[in-house]
Structure 1
Amino acid sequence: MDGLTPFVVYNLVIGVVVALELLYFLSLETAVTAYRRFVLVTVAGLVLAVIGGPVVELVAPQLVHWVHGAAALLVVFGLYDPVTNDVRRTEWARVLLNEPSRIRRPAEWMTPMDDEILGAFHGTDLVLSPAVVAFNTGYSRKEVNRRLIELEAHGFLEKVERGKYRLARRGERYLRGQLRTAPEAETETGARS
């Protein structure tokens, strides 16, 4: 390892710090990474670039361009959807730009679908049926109905009458980031800025 220059050490340190930050981001957004694999592909490419590049530069400098090329491909495949031949703008906006100042901690029983269902109610005082929620979220009516019952049982929604729901105060607080749910038992905390 005679190529351990200050520049290489700097690259390694920066690479480790960036990789740790990316892993921290992923730990905060477990629901996102569980159902949106393109985030993992992009992050894998970034980690390969910032860690793999400097390590390969030390061990086998002739392969550094191959590692950077592989990392770039992973990042491109994470950002680009070859099926629709377009950049994943909408998906990344949901991951990064949708209420960036608030990090929600869903309860263990919650699914990513629950956030989308609650989002259909958010900002309105409307009473919605499972069919309307299913139409607006793109999920099947059967799946939505099952989740509406679960969300109502946990106090996030209130049943107005048979088959009709509205967002409860608890659900509104959860969507605003003012309600934090613990993995095993739900606990309420004050508003975070």
Structure 2
Amino acid sequence: MDGLTPFAGYNLAIGIVVALELLYFLSLEASTTAYRRFVLVTAAGLVLAVIGGPVAELVAPSLVHWVHGTAALLVVFGLYDPVANEVRTTEWDRALLTEPSSIRRPADWMTPMDDEILGAFYGTDLALTPSIVAFNTGFSRKEVNRRLIELETHDLLEKVERGKYRLTRRGERYLRGHLRAGPGTADASGVRG
């Protein structure tokens, strides 16, 4: 170790700040990381890259490439599911969009329960019954059934057959934050510019 050069000190300081910001973000999103290990794997890769790289540069410069390679692998395994052989787009959507108010613009007629009900349909192409939605959201079947009818009326869900609902294209656009769920049906006036 020859000493701390200004460039190495700068890299280390920036790495520490970024790592602290990332850890702070993860502490705020404890519910996200508690059930989604891939978020923690990706975060570990990022922390290793921003802290491990500069530290390895100071302590053992010959290991810098190994540290960065390991960090890159952790990030890749956090973003990619080798078992299903696909990128974890649905899981990351759910992990990053857990706070609907940050991206969605609900209509005046909507309740906070509606986002959770629609979230049960998101990322699946399944037709779900009120009982299944109630079980997965923790609301009563009676409340869920009432909201499913309302969401169908506003074209966010469609009734596939008696007692079975599926997310519509409009509902998917709403969940992605591309549509304000206004009082009408499938019109383009709610699309953000």
SS in 1 for 2:143: strand
1:1-193 alignment runs, 5 A limit: 1-97=1-97, 99=99, 102=102, 119-120=116-117, 131-134=129-132, 144=135, 147-148=138-139, 163-166=141-144
Conservation of the 8 A alpha-carbon contact between 1:79 and 1:87 = yes
Rounded Cα–Cα distance in structure 2 between residues aligned with 1:77 and 1:53: 19
Count of aligned pairs:
130
Provide TM-score, normalisation by structure 1.
Answer: 0.58
Q: Secondary structure, in 3 states, of the residue corresponding to 2:83?
A: coil
Is the 8 Å Cα contact of residues 117 and 133 (structure 1) preserved in structure 2? no
Shift of 1:3: 4.0
- C-alpha spacing 1:71/1:116, structure 2 compared with 1 (3 Å): farther
- The superposition leaves residues 124-169 of structure 1 with CA deviations (integer Å, 9 ceiling, x where unpaired) of xxxxxx94252x5xxxx7xx18933xxxxxxxxxx6xxx411489x
Compute the displacement of 1:97 (Å).
4.0
Cα distance between partner residues in 1 of 2:97 and 2:118: 19
Name the SS of the counterpart of 1:165 in structure 2.
Answer: helix
TM-score (norm 2): 0.58
Sequence identity (%): 67
Q: CA deviation at 1:96?
A: 1.9
The alpha-carbon deviation at position 121 of structure 1 amounts to: 5.9
Instruction: Evaluate the alpha carbon distance shift between residue 25 and residue 133 of structure 1 in structure 2; reply closer, same or farther with a 3 A threshold.
Output: farther
Structure 1 residues 117, 31: CA separation in 2 closer, same or farther (over 3 Å shift)? farther
CA RMSD, 1 decimal: 3.1
- 2:100 touches 2:115 (CA, 8 Å); kept in 1? no
Deviations 1:10-43 (A, max 9, x none): 1101100110111111011100000000000000
Q: Is the 8 A contact 1:16 1:50 kept in 2?
A: yes
Gaps of 5+ in 1: 104-114, 123-129, 149-158, 169-193
In 1, the alpha carbon distance for the partners of 2:97 and 2:115 equals 18
| Equivalent pair of 2:49/2:68 in contact (CA under 8 Å) | yes
Contact 2:41 2:74 in 1 (8 A): yes
Structure 2 CA distance for aligned equivalents of residues 76 and 43 of structure 1: 11
Change (3 A) 1:11 1:35: same
Letter in 1 for 2:24: Y
Once the 2 structures are TM-superposed, how far is the Cα of residue 76 of structure 1 from its aligned partner?
Answer: 0.4
